[in-house]
A and B are shown apart, each in its own frame.
Chain A
Amino acid sequence: MSAAGQGLATAQEVPLSLRGPAPTRVVAGYGFWLFLLSDIVIFAAFFAAYAVLSGENAGGPTAADLFDKKHVLIETACLLASSVTCGFGSLAMQSGNRTSTYFWMTITFILGVAFLSLEVSEFRHMLEIGAGPSRSAFLSAFFALVGTHGLHVSVGLCWLVVMLLQVATLGFQPMVSRRFFCFGLFWHALDIVWIGVFTIVYLGAHL
């Protein structure tokens, strides 16, 4: 904290016009933060659609018939654990420890795959019993919302593989560490969206 205090003290002494451009890492991080917020606005639109349409089941299966709470708890645990291991991985990367970066990021990847396969198996089961997205407005909204989240997780997993390959080939260059840092933000943001999904979609179904 003392280092930060000194940083702020010098910040007040140097006038704004003389400080020069912000470092690339700050600019990239801030830009990615803006992207994440706009991504969350997309999710908000799907949440709004789901909130409006969740009761319109057109005589088909209702939310209470379809959703299994234990299944969702396991999915939530996978995603939460992967968020923490991703944090440990980015800490390992900051300290330049290659082995421990690979270790934590591999665990993150495995937990992400576990989450995704649970979700896919749930979707397949719903399609088999005739509760596909074309059955009712409620199910269209459900597949749009949860499917978009699942799509984001799959894109995140592809990104993670690319990042591990870049660490393997390029090492810890500033460019690679910036990208890794943005990946961490992305992964944590997906976990935040999932909190909304399990509360509104899965727990809200049994009220």
Chain B
Amino acid sequence: MSTDIDAQGVAPGANIRTHSTHRSYLIGLGYAVILTLASFWASSTDVIYPHGVPILLGVLAIAQMGIHLVFFLHISSAPDQTNNILALAFGIFVVGLLVFGSMIIMAHLNHNMMPMDRLMQMQR
């Protein structure tokens, strides 16, 4: 492991704390199970205000992705991980741009679209 603790930083997934990693996977598994069950429960329960459920599901999913990154891929905010974090931040930026950008543009186009029957009349 000593080659990982290097002036050049560490690769993602390379764990410095070798002796506690079995525990880190188990902790991650515990959190992931709780969050998964919570999101399955939230999608089928009547207890929560229905319009809040999608937001809750989003929060639970993002939390679980964070858990996986920290406990399984061992991404951390340590100074020797700056490169990994920067790449990850750029990846998240592109993903957000792509998903939310497409959704906003398509919803907007849909909104401004002429109703179908009117369109048919124009074609005659």
A residues within 8 Å of B by Cβ?
Answer: 1, 3-4, 6-8, 10-11, 14, 19, 21-23, 25-26, 28-30, 32-34, 37-38, 40-41, 44-45, 47-49, 51-52, 69, 73, 76, 80-81, 83-84, 87-88, 90-91, 94, 181, 184-185, 188-189, 191-192, 195-196, 198-200, 203-204, 206-207
Q: Using A26-B8, A52-B102, A87-B21 as known contacts, list a sample of 20 further A-B pairs with CB atoms less than 8 Å apart, ordered by residue number in A.
A: A3-B2, A4-B5, A8-B80, A10-B7, A11-B80, A19-B8, A21-B8, A23-B8, A37-B87, A38-B91, A40-B91, A44-B98, A48-B103, A84-B25, A88-B25, A189-B73, A191-B68, A196-B61, A199-B57, A207-B50
Inter-subunit contact B10/A73 (CB<8 Å): no
How many pairs of residues, A versus B, come closer than 8 Å at their CB atoms?
Answer: 160
The answer for the CA separation of A14 and B53 in the assembled complex, in Å, is 53
Residues on B with beta carbons closer than 8 Å to the beta carbon of A32: 11
The answer to whether A204 and B65 touch (CB under 8 A), given A40-B95, A41-B94, A73-B40, is: no
22 A-B contacts, Cβ less than 8 Å apart?
A1-B16, A3-B5, A7-B6, A7-B80, A25-B3, A26-B9, A30-B84, A34-B87, A37-B87, A41-B91, A44-B99, A49-B102, A52-B102, A52-B106, A83-B72, A87-B21, A94-B18, A192-B65, A196-B61, A196-B65, A203-B39, A203-B57
Most buried by A among B7, B33, B44, B83: B7
B17 lies within 8 A of chain A by Cβ: yes
6 tightest Cβ-Cβ pairs between the two chains A and B:
A29-B11, A22-B8, A37-B91, A11-B7, A48-B102, A7-B5
Quick check: A33 and B43 within 8 Å, CB to CB?
Answer: no
Cβ B102 vs Cβ A199 within 8 A:
no
Complex-state Cα separation, A94 to B21, whole angstroms: 11
Contact (A199, B12) CB under 8 Å given A76-B36, A80-B33, A94-B18: no
Task: Name, among B9, B73, B103, the residue most crowded by chain A CB atoms within 10 Å (CB to CB).
Answer: B73
